Structure 1
Amino acid sequence: MNGPNGTRLAAGALGLLAVAAVWAGLRASAAAAGAEAAGETLADCRRLAAEIRALRSDAPTAAPETTAEEAVTERVDRAARAAGLPADAVLDVDPRPARRAGETAYRTRSTGLSLAPLTLPELRRFLEALVEDEPGLTVTSLQLTPPRADRPAGAAAAGPERWSANLALTRLIYDPTTSGPK
């Protein structure tokens, strides 16, 4: 194979080797890029998993569905006692049915309250006692009725102003069993 055919054959073999080397280099480069992208995806997945774990621990505080209507009434009575309100300060407690909060694992339950006329500091103490250490309970509505204005003009006030209050409490309830994200 020493002649022109041998040289051509050797040149062809070298050309094929060069093409194979370029092709192998391109495949290796593509594999490296794929491995790098996979590594970035893995890092993103790990970051998102850590974020999910953090969000789970910081999830909205919700009460379990163990709070019956009697428990809500008892909670209101305890808060009234803690605030130093008279026994007849709570006129009405009206628990309402729970409602699903969108397509989530949460429900909300509202309770309407009517209070006898109180001073604003008494009302503040009552509201603080009501939501203290109670997961997921918020005052979502507060309607105040001003003191009666039927005193004669110029008459001195007989004590502090007392305001009537109607409010709505809403409790966030974690309840994944009945409906939730699918």
Structure 2
Amino acid sequence: MTNNIDVHSRDSLQQTPLHISVGDMWEPGDRTPSVDQLIAAGADVNARDQWGRTPLHYASHSDRADAVAALIAAGADVNARDNGNWTPLHAAAARGCTAVVKLLLDAGAEVEPIDSQGETPLSRAITAKSGVPEEVIKLLRERGANPWRKSGRHSPLSAARAHTSGYHFQEIKEAFADLPDEEPK
């Protein structure tokens, strides 16, 4: 299916066919070339668009575990930073993509990268407006994310207690149930 596609071509946003094929507007099986086909045809897995995002940023944001696994296997940089210093882990954590968070961490993604607003993937997960599954928060914590580390103006733990409500708050509260109110000295 890549016979007539220049895998290095760019659109007006500087996105390659690989960026587009992993975005959340497409479902696996749609009439787009597969990630594997594009990679086999020589697509650059670390190509950046006008925002500095790689295909792995988009696959992570779109909860495309299949594409994330293929990109990682092809050498995608799991710690690539976009123009806002977001890594693919920031994108996956903020969207609550549990399987993708695990794949990225298993591939060596840094657990606490700091974006341009001083936020970590854990703090992005906690303050996500859509509500993030408790499993994402627990997974980040298990892999070493510090709930007391200041991110922006608050620690993830204080942000969780101050800025969440309803069902999302209950999940976050359970993810931090083992912690005291104050950081141990």
Structure 1 length-normalised TM: 0.24
Q: Name the larger-Rg structure.
A: 1
Structure 2 length-normalised TM: 0.23
Structure having the higher strand fraction is: 1
